């Protein structure tokens, strides 16, 4: 049986001019995950990253924390969807009375992603939700096919691809998978780890969003 560990990147720089850069906390989360995986005896046959800088930085921290020398391969199939474009084409809602800026942003993000996932406005986006999910599904299939029997891969990616991999393995058909993705994506923890196994029963999700390597003060969602 082979195993694929899907890891959401460490905390990025939310609110900064360049989001695609790990914060100090993000670097620490990454090193702690690497140390925890090594302590569990995990030795990867493959390390794969998406195409974002935050993915590469998370990989560097995990490799450092674990003491692994496995080179990281880039597969852009694991890159995140363009959340900035998804937000930009959806009008920002007016802040409700007494609502915090953080809560208003979360509401905007959820409304914008629902519009994107609906498929009713595909012409507004460079990558439709259907194209995104097909890309992530293909990346998961490629990786599962490339792993030797009893092999292990660690994938440094983003919340969107992790949530879709989980939703696609847990739910049958549409709209159930999309509805589940909309629920899983917002709760993805930075460096949270989801485990997918492939064996005689096919490809199966066995854990989602595990973050026991983090103390409560290091658990972040964006």
Residues 28 and 136 in one domain: yes
Residues 62 and 168 in one domain: yes
pTM of the model: 0.93
Residues 39 and 90 in one domain: no
**CATH at residue 13:** 3.40.50.1240
Domain that holds residue 105: 82-126
Cross-strand bridge partners of residue 132:
none
Residues 116 and 131 in one domain: no
Residues 103 and 15 in one domain: no
Residues 58 and 137 in one domain: yes
Residues 132 and 92 in one domain: no
Digit-by-digit pLDDT tens for the chain (222 residues) are 899 999 999 999 866 667 789 999 999 999 999 999 999 999 999 999 999 999 999 999 999 999 999 999 999 999 999 999 999 998 877 766 677 777 788 888 899 999 999 999 999 999 999 999 999 999 999 999 999 989 999 999 999 999 999 999 999 998 999 999 999 999 999 999 999 999 888 899 999 999 999 999 999 998
Residues 163 and 212 in one domain: yes
Residues 9 and 73 in one domain: yes
Q: Is the dihedral of CA 196, 82, 46, 53 positive or negative?
A: negative
The tally of domains found in the chain comes to 2
Residues 37 and 138 in one domain: yes
Q: Give the CB-side neighbour count of residue 47, counting CA atoms within 13 A.
A: 22
């Amino acid at each position: 049986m082979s195993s694929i560990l899907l890891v959401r990147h460490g905390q990025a720089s939310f609110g900064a001019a360049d989001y695609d850069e790990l914060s100090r906390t993000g670097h620490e989360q990454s090193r702690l995950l690497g140390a925890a995986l090594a302590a569990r005896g995990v030795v990867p046959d493959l390390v794969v990253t998406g195409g974002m800088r935050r993915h590469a930085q998370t990989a560097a921290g995990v490799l450092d924390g674990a003491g692994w020398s496995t080179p990281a391969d880039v597969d852009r199939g694991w890159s995140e969807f363009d959340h900035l474009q998804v937000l930009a084409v959806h009008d920002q809602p007016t802040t409700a009375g007494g609502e915090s800026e953080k809560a208003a942003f979360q509401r905007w993000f959820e409304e914008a992603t629902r519009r994107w996932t609906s498929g009713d406005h595909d012409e507004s986006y460079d990558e439709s939700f259907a194209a995104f999910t097909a890309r992530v599904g293909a990346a998961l299939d490629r990786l599962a096919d490339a792993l030797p029997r009893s092999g292990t891969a660690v994938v440094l990616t983003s919340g969107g691809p992790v949530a879709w991999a989980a939703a696609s393995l847990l739910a049958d058909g549409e709209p159930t998978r999309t509805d589940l993705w909309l629920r899983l994506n917002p709760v993805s923890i930075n460096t949270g780890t989801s485990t997918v196994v492939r064996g005689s029963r096919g490809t199966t999700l066995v854990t989602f969003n595990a973050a026991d390597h983090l103390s409560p003060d290091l658990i972040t969602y964006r």
